[in-house]
Amino acid sequence: MEATAELEAKVKQRPLPRHLGIIMDGNGRWAESKGRPRLEGHREGSTSVREITRCARRLGIKALTLYAFSAQNWSRPSEEVAGLMELLREYLFKERREILDNGIRLHAIGDLDKLPGLVRDPLDELRDVSADNRDMVLTLALSYGGREELLQAAKGLAEMMLRGEVTGHPTEAQFESLLWTQGLPPVDLIIRTSGEHRVSNFLLWQGAYAEYVFVDTLWPDFRAPQLLDALQVYQARERRFGLTGEQVKAAAS
């Protein structure tokens, strides 16, 4: 394997996703394969969160969205949910300094009202104090579901139409302004770890023209070298957005 610094420099020279989304999967299997409790997989996974955020920041990726807890994850065993909430709290305290020192704006999407105060309070505080940072936006998808997001946007739009604030046919832009991701750039690349080839309710609207890269590595083992490999796969793709290959080449020349 090429040395990470060299590979990083090489990857940096080619077009990078402006917005990268990651479905962090495989924490449980990582722990089980080592005969350890599932929560230890999540804990090691939060080290990957730190490393991947650092690497993305170094590369100059402007937006990183991590699927940390889905709307459906509330149905997991209560000890696992409680453990994940504790880990999130710990992460928000431990990473506070690094986030602020590196110009990162912390953001969150999802049904945040469902989060317990022990997560919601430090989350709100860090979102507030980092609000003016501009180098990168790190979005945690928490209690997040794409269908849930679309449904609340549809309800919002219906209410606006009833109030006469939207007349005629609603536009894509009006609908997008009601999504939780409002203000974030379009997602260019979505990586899913752990060998599963599913979208699992992540960024359903936003992923319409995203490139997907599925890797076998379990999330706790997914670090800078694995991210750089996935970015190279992305860089070798031709994005066509519904056009022909000839049209794309003509537009680029």
Which ranges of 68-176 would DSSP assign to H, the alpha helix? 78-94, 96-101, 117-129, 146-162, 172-176
Q: Which region among 23-31, 103-111, 115-123, 163-171 touches ligand FPP (by CB under 6 A)?
A: 23-31
Phi, psi angle pair for 24, to nearest 5°: -85, 100
Work out whether 24 is an interface residue with ligand FPP (CB under 6 A): yes
Work out whether 88 is an interface residue with ligand FPP (CB under 6 A): yes
Question: In this chain, which of 119, 126, 138, 140 binds ligand FPP, going by CB under 6 A?
Answer: 140
Q: How far is the CB of 143 from ligand FPP (least distance, A)?
A: 12
Q: How far is the CB of 7 from ligand FPP (least distance, A)?
A: 24
150: tokens are: 């679309």
Contacts of ligand FPP in 147-206 (CB under 6 A): none
Q: Work out whether the CA dihedral 85, 207, 214, 197 comes out positive or negative.
A: positive
Work out whether 44 is an interface residue with ligand FPP (CB under 6 A): no
Phi, psi angle pair for 53, to nearest 5°: -65, -45
Work out whether 53 is an interface residue with ligand FPP (CB under 6 A): no
Q: Which region among 26-34, 52-60, 183-191, 228-236 touches ligand FPP (by CB under 6 A)?
A: 26-34
Work out whether 56 is an interface residue with ligand FPP (CB under 6 A): no
Give the whole-angstrom CA distance, residue 24 versus residue 46: 10
Cα distances (Å, whole numbers) of residue 95 to 54, 99, 124, 139: 11, 6, 14, 14
Residue labelled with tokens 């049209």? 247
Work out whether 61 is an interface residue with ligand FPP (CB under 6 A): no
Cα distances (Å, whole numbers) of residue 124 to 20, 108, 129: 23, 9, 9
Q: Identify which of residues 17 and 26 has a Cβ nearer to ligand FPP in the complex.
A: 26
124 is catalytic: no
DSSP for residue 208: G
Q: Which residue, 199, 171, 174, is CA-closest to 187?
A: 199
Q: How far is the CB of 69 from ligand FPP (least distance, A)?
A: 6
121 is catalytic: no
* Active site residues per annotation: 25, 73
Would you tell me which residues interact with ligand FPP (CB under 6 A)?
A: 24-29, 42, 45-46, 49, 66, 68-69, 73, 87-88, 91, 140, 219
